[in-house]
Amino acid sequence: MAGVADEERVGLEDKLEEKSKELEGDQSLFELLQLCKDFANDHNLPADDCCICMCPFDDDEPYVKAICSHSFHCECLSRWIHDQRVQALDRESESPGCSSGG
């Protein structure tokens, strides 16, 4: 699992084994799946650093995961997008433009 330390993964395995013994013969599958889902939601931080600032992700920082699986702090991505727009506008104002005689 990306973003999950080995000791956390082992902890999940232990919880799953304990829960499966507790619920033997019951609707254990659904409860085990819910336990996994809750664990994944609680530990859902990217394993890699932000691709823009190269800093790790904290629990309280919002982040975005791109379709290519790269992750960015929302603030870093917002600043980067803003900077790209400003640079594009600067390039546009520096270029002589197109003049058609039509």
What are the domain boundaries of the chain? 1-44, 47-92
Query: For residue 50, what pLDDT is reported?
Result: 92
Query: For residue 98, what pLDDT is reported?
Result: 55
Query: For residue 53, what pLDDT is reported?
Result: 95
Cα 13 to Cα 36: distance, rounded to the nearest angstrom: 9
Q: DSSP string covering 38-92, please?
A: HHHHHT---SSPPTTT-PPPPTTS-EEE-TTS-EEEHHHHHHHHHHHHHHHHHHH
Per-residue pLDDT tens digits for 6-54 = 777 788 888 878 877 777 766 667 777 778 777 776 666 777 899 999 9
Q: Which fold, 47-92?
A: Herpes Virus-1 (3.30.40)
Would the pTM of this model clear 0.85, i.e. be above it?
no
Query: For residue 97, what pLDDT is reported?
Result: 58
If you average pLDDT over every residue of the chain, what do you get? 77
Query: For residue 39, what pLDDT is reported?
Result: 76
Query: For residue 102, what pLDDT is reported?
Result: 45
